[in-house]
Structure 1
Amino acid sequence: MQLPRPSNGCSASSSGRLSMLSFTSSPTTTINVRRPPRRSMQDSYRPVRPARGYMLALLAATCWASGGLTAKWLFTTASDATAHWPVPPLGIAIEPTVLSGARAVSAFVILVLWLLVTRRGAFKIAAPDVPFLAAFGVIGLAGVHFTYFMTISLTNVATAILLEYLAPILVLIVGVMFLGHRFTWALPVGVALSVLGCAFVVGALGGDGLVVSSAGLAWGLASAVLFAFYSLMGSVAASRFTPYTMLVYGLGFASIFWMLWLGPSAILSVFSDVKTAGAVLFMAVVSTVVPFSAFLLALRDIPPTNATVASTIEPMLAAVGAFALFRESLSLTQLMGGVLVIAAIIVVQLPGRETVSPLPPPD
């Protein structure tokens, strides 16, 4: 591209994301446009608000823990052991998969109604985006719950939780090997601390211990893979979609999955009882819409490895909640596990705080 020469020879340049502009002493001026260097995935996280990212990840973990406590209250049958509970248990006989499907469908309806009032632009997507969002909903949302419940049915809760929270290891490996994330000493140390802490909290290294079968191990590892898939997909798509767009379409496709798997009648039967319906709606908001939105928002501020490490505080929060609400025992081993998880969250924050650049907002 040629422009008339300015009256006085001069040169100007800019670095980073701006182009290079050069004025020469020749009769014409040449503008050389230099493409900005490609950024790695790790370079897309803003250093100025990491605290917000960790707070959002911790909010997600807190809400997920509340969902587990609500499910315990929902499923437990009244007895002498529950006489001291602040609210009598419901003792509802409902399959966990049916509860998960009803929760997903309820969360989808609630989120759609809220977005119609506040953020109608969240529904705008292009046709080529549909397969990605469908995979996110079916694999990343419905798939995680389905494999988790299958693991519980074949092992026990401690084994299912521990296997699912192997996800940070997978996120770290995939991120470094395929997505250009930086590898620093703090990341594997933090991941190891979080997994070890989770093992202490759920009683894998004491208490009932692990119950392992080949089928249970396979389903448990599948739940870890799908949780890692959810985290990485949310990270990759953070600059393409708002968290609300991802979540509303993800829940929509997850709802379709549950409707096809369970049948509409099974899901609708949950709402035949007022108390059960109220509990499901509470879980739809507090343990689905809020935490999944918060986790996706966190992925705009911190890398997925860090976010998944922070989420491993969930079992500890659930244990503390069960101690406060249901007077369950809280052992020294569990407290030690919680300390290890907190240490892991601190450790993964140590490296590279000054070397990352902001993530641009989605179009």
Structure 2
Amino acid sequence: MEKPKIHPYIPIIIGVISVSASAILVKLIAGVDSGVIAFYRMLFSILIMSPLFFMKYTHELRQLKRRDWLFSIIAGIFLAFHFILWFESLRYTSVASSTVLVTLQPIFAFAGTYFFFKERISFKTLMSGFIAIVGSVLISWGDLKVSGSAFYGDMLALIACALVTGYLLFGQDVRQRLSLMTYTMLVYTASTITLFVYVLIKEESFGPYPTNDWFWFVLLAVIPNLLGHNLFNWSLKWVSTNVLSIAILFEPIGAAILAYFIFNEHLMLTQVIGGAIVIAGIMLFVVDEKMLKKLFQKNS
């Protein structure tokens, strides 16, 4: 396999920072149904990408196999319902709780990559995932409520987590053969069509909406999608879904910080401690043991 021009972890870091703003932007769009928010997020994404795709990448469509079409469509459907359920969860629970549960992807990703791709799961991977998950739960320990509307919102976020893991797993297979642009256009188009049908069936309104809402729709497309998810899709050619699932655990930290400044959602001591534990778990996973040995040898 060709080597990437830059280390895959760099785009992943930028992607995590970008997707951290997603929950904040959704919260800022008041009075709009979750399906509609998700639809416009995906629609504006493909509209922005279309000129470049039609100029340089349409020839790749002739090379697609039935498996590529099928997996791309399934990934798009998974992504659509991930957005619907996650956006809906933000109406019932806090930004911290929702983002924590959505980013508990290692639970699903470790199992998925083992059964679908026969990837071996090392003890180090299991331990780092367990540590990061513990930290993610601690981030919103004081906010999680196992009752009423908060519990309902938490369950929606957890199902959304399983769906986005499925989206990444199908993408990991297809990205080995397709360029980032072609794969992203296929998945986003499938997702947009799915969301369009969903909004029609639910009889939700496509508009009109205030100018501010349209501004947030566009930002949702540009920041979390075109920067966040596109960079994740790019990295899938060189890294496992497990790597992304661990890295995305950074998202609750960024989201919690943004929520504090924008919505005055105060951080608790358990959330601060949890954030430190998340970082420790991620570092255990991503730091190369050989690199550490060389570093210690130089310093000794």
Instruction: Report the TM range for the smaller structure's normalisation.
Output: 0.7 to 0.9
Which residue number in structure 1 is paired with residue 143 of structure 2? 207
How far did 1:142 drift?
0.3
Alignment partners' CA distance in 1, 2:198 and 2:119 = 37
Kindly provide the CA deviation profile for residues 209-237 of structure 1, in whole angstroms up to 9, marking residues without a partner as x. 34479976764443232121112112112
Which residue number in structure 1 is paired with residue 86 of structure 2? 148
From 258, 262, 273, the equivalent of 2:195 is: 258
Kindly provide the CA deviation profile for residues 79-108 of structure 1, in whole angstroms up to 9, marking residues without a partner as x. xxxxxxxxxxxxxx2122211111111112
Kindly provide the CA deviation profile for residues 145-188 of structure 1, in whole angstroms up to 9, marking residues without a partner as x. 12324555676655544443332112112223441212211111
Which residue number in structure 2 is paired with residue 111 of structure 1? 49
Alignment partners' CA distance in 2, 1:150 and 1:72 = 10
CA RMSD across the alignment: 3.1
From 63, 72, 75, the equivalent of 1:133 is: 72
* Contact 1:63 1:286 survives alignment (8 Å): yes
Which residue number in structure 2 is paired with residue 269 of structure 1? 207
Structure 1, unpaired ranges of 5+: 1-43, 76-92, 355-363
Alignment partners' CA distance in 2, 1:353 and 1:229 = 32
Which residue number in structure 2 is paired with residue 56 of structure 1? 11
How far did 1:200 drift?
1.9
Alignment partners' CA distance in 2, 1:150 and 1:319 = 18
Identity of aligned residues (%): 19
Higher relative contact order (CA 8 A, sep 6+): 2
* Contact 1:155 1:211 survives alignment (8 Å): no
* Contact 2:45 2:225 survives alignment (8 Å): yes
Which residue number in structure 2 is paired with residue 65 of structure 1? 20
Q: Quick one: structure 1 residues 353 and 293, their matched pair in 2 at CA, closer, same or farther if it must change by over 3 Å?
A: farther
Compute the TM-score of the two structures, normalised by the length of structure 1. 0.69
How far did 1:70 drift?
2.0
How far did 1:121 drift?
4.5
Q: Quick one: structure 1 residues 293 and 114, their matched pair in 2 at CA, closer, same or farther if it must change by over 3 Å?
A: same
Which residue number in structure 2 is paired with residue 167 of structure 1? 105
From 269, 276, 283, the equivalent of 1:346 is: 283
Alignment partners' CA distance in 1, 2:115 and 2:72 = 24
**Letter of the structure 2 residue corresponding to residue 116 of structure 1:** F
Alignment partners' CA distance in 1, 2:90 and 2:263 = 21
Q: Quick one: structure 1 residues 219 and 322, their matched pair in 2 at CA, closer, same or farther if it must change by over 3 Å?
A: closer
Say which SS state the counterpart of residue 166 (structure 1) adopts: coil
How far did 1:327 drift?
4.4
Match status 1:197 vs 2:106: no
Q: Quick one: structure 1 residues 200 and 212, their matched pair in 2 at CA, closer, same or farther if it must change by over 3 Å?
A: farther
* Contact 1:50 1:302 survives alignment (8 Å): no
**Letter of the structure 1 residue corresponding to residue 103 of structure 2:** Y
* Contact 2:73 2:186 survives alignment (8 Å): yes
Structure 2, unpaired ranges of 5+: 292-300
Which residue number in structure 2 is paired with residue 74 of structure 1? 29
Q: Which has the larger radius of gyration?
A: 1
Compute the TM-score of the two structures, normalised by the length of structure 2. 0.82
Q: Greater shift after overlay, 144-153 or 290-299? A: 144-153
How far did 1:295 drift?
0.5
Q: Quick one: structure 1 residues 339 and 159, their matched pair in 2 at CA, closer, same or farther if it must change by over 3 Å?
A: closer
